[in-house]
């Protein structure tokens, strides 16, 4: 891939900056609860997808254990908040514990498995993720089993918390939005995810990022010129694991619930893969575009199809085809079209076209 994919073309940058602006002002632009949930999920998944792209896009490592690290961060925060109460000490303890366990597992998997061929490493990570899913279901005294864990977030994030008050003691409003704990929780998610994303962007733009791309393009040549390939691959695997764990912690604080379906499900892994492919491998900006498109489709495609079916109720066949229950079918069609028209992902294809122009 060209170096233009590292920073992206001007078009891609504009798209990403527009998305960032929309997410920054999301509470004021989209004032219903569902829209805020969607915006927070997009923020978390941008970080999660970008951290996975460090592996598959920049280094050529295919792993199916990314949701395991995401789940460790989420369960770390959930267990700490349940046991210690809704304090910042619990948040810090859970985040550090989840990141530490993720780091240890990443080192173990990396050192033991990254010397084998790609397909065998992928199978090892898949087995590790499956074991984590089983343990989360069976160790119910710690994880809540299939029911998961419900807990309270720090007081700052409670909807009843008043960030500012009027003269008569009511919650102050800014552009019609209540300045309460829900707003604080969203900006905690946004700012944390922004910092993590910028750190990854700095990493891939550094000399380390250049080495990772060299390993992806030709591992044998990279090793021949003196780079310790296993060390670099283990390093990036650990970085991706810790960042995924921190993203899980942030998401757990936002949801105030953690269970196998929200943190460890293989469906999340499939979503991550789809987002990487849609956005474009080997470009951090692709993670932003891919996460936005897929999350929006998951939340709103069914509604759009329902509205279209109702509007076309007098047209033969179309209402049947556009039945909202068939949204997954249409999501698949959209994905196929995106892959066809954007073979390097949206960000990758736009960057290449801009480079040729």
Task: Say which residue, 163 or 23, is predicted with more confidence.
Answer: 23
For 66, list phi and psi in degrees, rounded to 5: -65, -35
**Residue 4 pLDDT level (bands cut at 50, 70, 90):** very low
Stretch among 64-78, 157-171, 286-300 having the lowest mean pLDDT: 157-171
Task: Say which residue, 6 or 192, is predicted with more confidence.
Answer: 192
Rounded to 5, what percent of the chain is helix, strand, coil? Answer: 75, 5, 20
Residue 271: pLDDT over 90: yes
pLDDT of residue 355: 54
Stretch among 62-71, 86-95, 105-114, 166-175 having the lowest mean pLDDT: 166-175
**Residue 2 pLDDT level (bands cut at 50, 70, 90):** very low
pLDDT of residue 216: 83
Residue 95: pLDDT over 50: yes
Residue 171: pLDDT over 80: no
pTM (2 d.p.):
0.91
Tokens standing for residue 235: 């390093």
Domain 4-356 bears CATH identifier 1.10.3470: yes
Tokens standing for residue 270: 């499939």
First to last CA, the chain: 17
**Residue 356 pLDDT level (bands cut at 50, 70, 90):** low
pLDDT of residue 114: 65
The per-residue DSSP string of 101-127 comes to HHHHHHHHHHHHHTTS-HHHHHHHHHH
Residue 142: pLDDT over 70: yes
Between the alpha carbon of residue 351 and those of residues 55, 287, 319, the distances in Å are: 21, 14, 38
């Amino acid at each position: 891939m060209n170096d233009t994919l590292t920073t992206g073309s001007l078009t891609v940058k504009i798209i990403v900056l527009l998305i960032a602006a929309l997410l920054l002002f999301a509470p004021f632009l989209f004032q219903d609860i569902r829209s805020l949930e969607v915006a927070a999920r997009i923020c978390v998944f941008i970080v999660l997808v970008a951290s996975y792209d460090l592996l598959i896009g920049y280094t050529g490592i295919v792993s199916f254990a990314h949701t395991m690290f995401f789940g460790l961060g989420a369960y770390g925060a959930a267990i700490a908040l349940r046991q210690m109460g809704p304090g910042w000490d619990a948040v810090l303890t859970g985040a550090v514990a989840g990141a530490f366990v993720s780091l240890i597992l990443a080192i173990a998997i990396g050192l033991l498995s990254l010397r084998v061929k790609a397909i065998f490493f992928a199978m090892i990570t898949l087995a590790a993720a499956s074991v984590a899913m089983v343990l989360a279901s069976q160790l119910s005294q710690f994880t809540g089993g299939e029911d998961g864990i419900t807990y309270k977030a720090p007081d700052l994030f409670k909807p009843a918390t008043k960030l500012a008050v009027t003269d008569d003691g009511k919650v102050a409003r800014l552009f019609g939005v209540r300045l309460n704990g829900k707003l604080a929780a969203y900006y905690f998610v946004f700012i944390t995810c922004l910092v993590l994303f910028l750190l990854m962007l700095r990493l891939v733009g550094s000399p380390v990022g250049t080495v990772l791309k060299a390993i992806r393009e030709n591992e044998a040549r990279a090793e021949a010129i003196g780079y310790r390939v296993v060390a670099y691959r283990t390093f990036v695997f650990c970085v991706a694991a810790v960042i995924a764990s921190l993203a899980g912690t942030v998401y757990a604080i936002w949801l105030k619930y953690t269970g196998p379906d929200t943190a460890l499900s293989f469906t999340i892994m499939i979503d991550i893969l789809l987002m990487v492919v849609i956005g474009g491998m080997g470009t951090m900006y692709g993670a932003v575009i891919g996460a936005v498109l897929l999350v929006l489709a998951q939340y709103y495609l069914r509604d759009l199809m329902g509205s279209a079916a109702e509007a076309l109720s007098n047209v033969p066949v179309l209402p049947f085809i556009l039945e909202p229950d068939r949204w997954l079918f249409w999501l698949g069609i959209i994905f196929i079209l995106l892959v066809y028209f954007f073979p390097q992902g949206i960000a990758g294809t736009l960057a290449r076209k801009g480079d040729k122009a």
